[in-house]
């Protein structure tokens, strides 16, 4: 692909050729600005690229020349954020062979914000197997060896999404545009994006399928039964995660049995809580306070994960002792006074009894 490499170098610098009718090309300034400090990041210590293959090493130099200093640097990849119209640009040390439209190596990836319709994802992969769609993040990425060919991929992908080209027509158009690029015709679809990537409404958080599952941060649910239900679930899920981590360690049998018991009983209580929400027609709501509890659990568990088996066992029991004490206080001081529904109050009382039993069992293991 040496000929394409030489000819394709021209595609790294946008010209003023207008886009085709019906496609509004993005403003030149958004893609070709020379304010490199604004498009890349602060000055970053670059790794020694001497052991990188020549082509990825060249791509790093080209992207730096156009977009400035990268934001993320490692021995395996170099990344720019918010560079021109792109959400992200990445060059990887590793090259992957790819034969469409001609044999070459993939190592350069351009990502734009785009909420790709679910029914179009298979078509995009059939068009170019090097494309990746991150539906949840609202991202569409093209991966090739030249920036211009990634631009071409993204432009044709949008045509497929809009229904103006079939997969086969887009593949044929790719070959035609590459040939025109080699001949120095500067095709618009190679020169620049023919659309402005959206700046909002691109994320796709999907929706829960577990019966009785909480909703995420519903405004106005602070201090309600919906929040109380979510707090109970958060407590249980934190305990389940900690118990699952404990079971990956070679603990002494009493501690292992304790972890298995907590996993089972807190898991059962989480399911009961979600079912209760359905029964009383209250959907649990993960308010900021509830989310903070999840974060607290993750933070505490992170301090245990890297400990060896002996240290972990002791630290885990200490954490369970303190954690169950904290939960009892939260139930007594916050959740029971806050709860309105009588069935929920009873469930809290039952939950408290289980937590108190778990606390006493933890104390016996110290």
Share of the chain above pLDDT 70, in %: 88
pLDDT value of position 252: 93
Query: pTM here?
Result: 0.76
The answer to whether the CB of 87 falls within 8 A of the CB of 113 is yes
Helix 342-365 and helix 253-279, axial crossing angle in degrees, nearest 10: 180
Per-residue pLDDT tens over the stretch 191-237: 999 999 998 889 988 888 899 999 998 889 999 999 999 999 999 99
pLDDT higher than threshold 90 for residue 48: no
pLDDT value of position 226: 97
C-alpha span between 335 and 110 (Å, rounded): 48
Mean pLDDT of 341-363: 98
Higher pLDDT, 17 or 267: 267
The mean predicted confidence, pLDDT, of the chain is: 89
Residue 20 confidence class, pLDDT cut points 50, 70, 90: very low
Task: Identify which of 220, 191, 192, 215 has the alpha carbon closest to the alpha carbon of residue 205.
Answer: 215
The residues with which 134 forms a beta bridge, in sequence order, are: 139
Q: In which order are the strands placed within the sheet that holds 77-83?
A: 72-73, 77-83, 86-98, 104-113, 139-144, 132-134
pLDDT value of position 27: 46
Instruction: Give backbone dihedrals phi and psi of 292, rounded to 5 degrees, phi first.
Output: -60, -35
pLDDT higher than threshold 50 for residue 171: yes
pLDDT higher than threshold 70 for residue 130: yes
pLDDT higher than threshold 50 for residue 7: no
Mean pLDDT of 54-73: 96
- DSSP letter string over 159-213? HHHHTSS-HHHHHHHHHHHHHHHHTT---HHHHS-SSPPPSSS--------STTP
Looking at the chain, which residues constitute the CATH 1.20.1260.10 domain(s)?
A: 215-365
pLDDT value of position 15: 33
What distances in angstroms separate CA 18 from CA 22, 84, 189, 323, one per listed residue? 11, 18, 10, 63
C-alpha span between 81 and 72 (Å, rounded): 8
pLDDT value of position 36: 55
pLDDT higher than threshold 70 for residue 42: no
CATH superfamily of 215-365: Ferritin, core subunit, four-helix bundle (1.20.1260.10)
Per-residue pLDDT tens over the stretch 264-299: 999 999 999 999 999 999 999 999 999 999 999 999
- Burial of 175-186, coded b for 16+ CB within 10 Å and e otherwise, reads eebbebbeeeee
Share of the chain above pLDDT 90, in %: 82
Structure tokens at 217: 């941060």
Instruction: Give backbone dihedrals phi and psi of 164, rounded to 5 degrees, phi first.
Output: -90, -10
Mean pLDDT of 74-99: 97
């Amino acid at each position: 692909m040496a000929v394409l490499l030489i000819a394709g170098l021209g595609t790294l610098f946008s010209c003023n050729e207008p886009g085709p009718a019906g496609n509004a090309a993005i403003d030149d300034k958004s893609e070709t600005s020379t304010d490199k400090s604004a498009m890349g990041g602060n000055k970053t210590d670059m790794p020694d690229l001497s052991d990188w293959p020549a082509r990825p090493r060249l791509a790093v130099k080209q992207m730096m020349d156009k977009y400035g200093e990268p934001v993320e640097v490692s021995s395996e990849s170099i990344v720019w954020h918010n560079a021109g119209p792109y959400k992200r640009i990445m060059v990887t040390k590793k090259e992957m062979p790819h034969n469409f439209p001609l044999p070459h190596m993939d190592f350069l990836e351009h990502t734009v914000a785009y909420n790709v319709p679910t029914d179009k994802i298979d078509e995009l992969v059939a068009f170019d197997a090097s494309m990746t769609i991150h539906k949840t993040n609202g991202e569409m990425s093209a991966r090739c060896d030249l920036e211009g060919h990634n631009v071409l991929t993204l432009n044709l992908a949008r045509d497929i999404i809009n229904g103006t080209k079939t997969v086969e027509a887009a593949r044929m158009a790719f070959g035609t545009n590459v040939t025109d690029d080699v001949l120095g015709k500067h095709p618009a679809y190679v020169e620049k994006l023919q659309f402005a990537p959206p700046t909002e409404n691109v994320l796709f958080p999907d929706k829960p399928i577990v019966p009785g599952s909480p909703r995420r941060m519903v405004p106005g649910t602070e201090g309600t039964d919906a929040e109380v239900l979510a707090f109970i679930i958060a407590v249980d899920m934190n305990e389940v995660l900690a118990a699952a981590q404990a079971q990956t360690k070679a603990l002494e049998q009493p501690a292992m049995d304790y972890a298995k018991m907590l996993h089972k009983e807190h898991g059962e209580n989480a399911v009961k809580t979600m079912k209760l929400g359905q029964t009383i027609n209250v959907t649990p709501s993960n308010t900021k306070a509830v989310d903070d509890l999840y974060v607290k659990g993750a933070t505490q568990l992170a301090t245990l994960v890297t400990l060896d088996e002996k240290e972990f066992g002791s630290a885990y029991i200490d954490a369970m002792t303190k954690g169950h004490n904290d939960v009892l206080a939260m139930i007594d001081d916050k959740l029971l006074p806050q709860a309105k529904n009588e069935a929920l109050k009873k469930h809290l009382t039952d939950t408290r009894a289980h937590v108190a039993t778990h606390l006493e069992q933890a104390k016996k293991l110290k």
